[in-house]
């Protein structure tokens, strides 16, 4: 059986939900080895938190990871990949994951596919391109199949993992140490779910006029993450990390509620693949209605509080 590597995806020191999704995708193609890269003293807790179909863990602790960033991660992974020659390497699709994947592809002479939303047993990846309007199936034809997979697109098998653990010592090559990180400020996670992992996302745009209370109210009633259009993040009404769209995050939740958002093509690019789309907008002609399963033509300041009340009433 072929051997598939996944890079354990971390949020701070916590194992993200995406890790089990990567393992689930990897298990379709072969036996899964999970690579844990972390600071000295931190790997044991990470390994014990792993779930999903993982048979082996390769764990490397290094001080250089935090100091040198992406190139250091890519360098260590490239060393293991060159040594163990897996058939595929799966990494979470975000800025950090994609850059690592790109560097490992160069170091190991391999092809790369980014932003896959599904992977088949034969290594064929499904991607949604052009803002989700087109489905593409593609496959890597050279070297290790390096693929980055979008969070929240593969249904994870989260069975308890009881892998064999190999603790490996490796050092980062000098060429990967050219950048020095002097300070790191992780984004503090609020009480709400992570945008790309959430089952429900409620987003606000220019129509909120800077007042996100109604949007947040509905989000909290639904247990949802809060998103924003670029108009809202550019205006400083909501942090850039919450921007949905081409230059923000791509989300594909079960439910996306767009409030006071017109539906520009760059916004749709980040949410078009949501399973169900609900819209509240006072302009009946707004293009966002074209992709809505349910749309309310109305003022969000009137509609959202009523909806929030209704959700709370049904839940209690």
Partner 1 sequence: LLPPSNLCLMKIAVCVKQVPDSWAEKKMINGTLDREGVDAVLNDLDEYAVEEALRIVEAHGGNEEGGAHSVTIISMGPERATEAIRKALSMGANDAILISDSALAGADAITTSAVLAKVIETGGFDLVLCGTESTDARMSVVPAMISARLGWAQLTFAGSVVVDPAASTVAITRVTDAGVDSMGASFPAVLSVIEKINEPRYPSFKGIMASKKKTIDVRDCAAIGISVQGAWSLVADSAPRPARAAGIKVTDSGDGGKELVDFLAGKKLI
The entry of partner 1, ligand FAD, none near residue 2 (CB within 5 to 8 angstroms by kind) is none
> Could you say which of 43, 110, 262, 273 contacts ligand FAD (CB under 6 A)?
262
User: Distance (Å, rounded) from C-alpha 293 to C-alpha 151?
Assistant: 23
- Cβ proximity of 98 and 156 under 8 Å: no
Pick one of 27, 35, 50, 128: the residue that binds partner 1 (CB under 8 A): 128
Q: Which residues contact 182 (CB under 8 A, 6 or more apart)?
A: none
Going across the sheet that includes 31-38, the strands are 125-129, 112-119, 145-149, 88-92, 3-7, 31-38, 56-61, 164-168
> Do 13 and 45 touch, CB atoms closer than 8 A?
yes
157 Ramachandran zone, left/alpha/beta (phi>0; psi -120 to 50):
beta
Q: Please identify, using beta-carbon distances, which residue of 166 and 234 lies nearer to partner 1.
A: 234
Structure tokens that stand for 284 in this block: 């009946």
In the complex, minimum distance from the CB of residue 301 to ligand FAD, in angstroms, rounded to a whole number:
6
For tokens 């190991």, what's the residue? 108
Q: Confirm or reject binding of residue 95 to partner 1 (CB under 8 A).
A: yes
Interface with ligand FAD (CB under 6 A), residue total 28
Per CB under 8 A, the segment of 34-42, 53-61, 83-91, 111-119 that binds partner 1 is 111-119
| Interaction of residue 158 with partner 1, rule CB under 8 A | no
- For residue 63, with 0-12 CB atoms within 10 Å meaning exposed, 13-18 middle and 19 or more buried, which class applies? exposed
CB of 249 to ligand FAD, least distance (A): 8
Residue appearing with tokens 């020095």: 180
The Cα-based distances of 1 to 27, 49, 110, 144, 245 in angstroms read: 10, 26, 20, 15, 39
| Smallest separation (angstroms) from partner 1 to the CB of 314 | 6
Q: Mask: binding to ligand FAD, 193-232, rule CB under 6 A, as x and -?
A: ------------xxx---------------------xxxx
Of the two residues 107 and 165, which places its CB atom closer to partner 1 in the complex?
Answer: 107
Residues 295-314 that bind ligand FAD (CB under 6 A): 299-301
Residues 12-51 that bind partner 1 (CB under 8 A): none
The Cα–Cα gap between 89 and 140 comes to 11
Question: Is 13:38 a contact under the CB 8 Å cutoff?
Answer: yes
* Residue 242 binds which of partner 1, ligand FAD, none (CB < 5-8 A, kind-dependent): none
Per CB under 8 A, 155 contacts partner 1: no
Distance in Å, CB of 234 to partner 1, minimum? 8
Question: Does 60 interact with partner 1 (rule: CB under 8 A)?
Answer: no
**How are beta strands 125-129 and 112-119 bridged, if at all?**
antiparallel
Query: Per rule CB under 6 A, is residue 94 in the interface with ligand FAD?
Result: no
Out of 11, 124, 158, 246, point to the residue binding ligand FAD (CB under 6 A): 246
Q: Is 215 exposed, middle or buried (0-12, 13-18, 19+ CB in 10 A)?
A: buried
CB neighbourhood size of 252 (10 A): 20
Residue 254 as a binder of partner 1 (CB under 8 A): the answer is yes
Smallest distance, partner 1 to C-beta of residue 164, A: 30
Site string for ligand FAD, 148-167 (x = CB under 6 A): --------------------
184 scored as a contact of partner 1 (CB under 8 A): yes
Residue ranges in contact with ligand FAD by CB under 6 A:
205-207, 229-232, 243-248, 260-262, 264, 266-267, 270, 280-283, 286, 299-301
């Amino acid at each position: 059986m072929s051997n598939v590597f996944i890079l354990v995806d971390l949020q701070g020191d916590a194992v993200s939900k995406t890790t089990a999704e990567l393992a689930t995708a990897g298990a379709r193609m072969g036996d899964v080895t999970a690579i844990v890269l972390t600071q000295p003293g931190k790997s044991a807790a990470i390994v014990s938190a792993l779930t999903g179909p993982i048979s082996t863990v390769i764990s490397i602790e290094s001080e250089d990871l935090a100091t040198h960033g992406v190139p250091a991660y890519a360098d260590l992974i490239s060393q293991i990949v060159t040594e163990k020659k897996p058939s595929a390497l799966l990494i979470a699709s975000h800025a950090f994951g994609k850059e690592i994947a790109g560097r490992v592809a160069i170091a190991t002479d391999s092809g790369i596919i980014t932003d896959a939303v599904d992977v088949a047993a034969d290594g064929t990846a499904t991607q949604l391109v052009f803002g989700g309007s087109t489905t593409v199936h593609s496959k890597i034809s050279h070297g290790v199949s390096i693929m980055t997979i979008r969070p929240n697109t593969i249904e994870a098998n989260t069975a308890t993992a009881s892998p064999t653990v190999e603790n490996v010592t490796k050092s980062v090559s000098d060429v990967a140490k050219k950048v020095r990180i002097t300070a790191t400020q992780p984004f503090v996670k609020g009480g709400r779910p992570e945008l790309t992992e959430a089952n429900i996302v409620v987003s606000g745009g220019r129509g909120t006029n800077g007042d996100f209370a109604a949007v947040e109210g509905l989000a909290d009633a639904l247990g949802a993450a809060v998103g924003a259009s670029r108009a809202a993040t550019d205006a400083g009404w909501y942090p850039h990390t919450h921007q949905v769209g081409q230059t923000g995050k791509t989300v594909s939740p079960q439910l996306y509620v767009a409030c006071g958002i017109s539906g520009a093509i760059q916004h749709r690019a980040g949410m078009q693949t949501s399973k169900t789309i609900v819209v509240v907008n006072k302009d009946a002609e707004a293009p966002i209605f074209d992709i809505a399963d349910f749309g309310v033509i109305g003022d969000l300041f009137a509609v959202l509080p009523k909806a929030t009340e209704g959700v709370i009433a049904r839940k209690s």
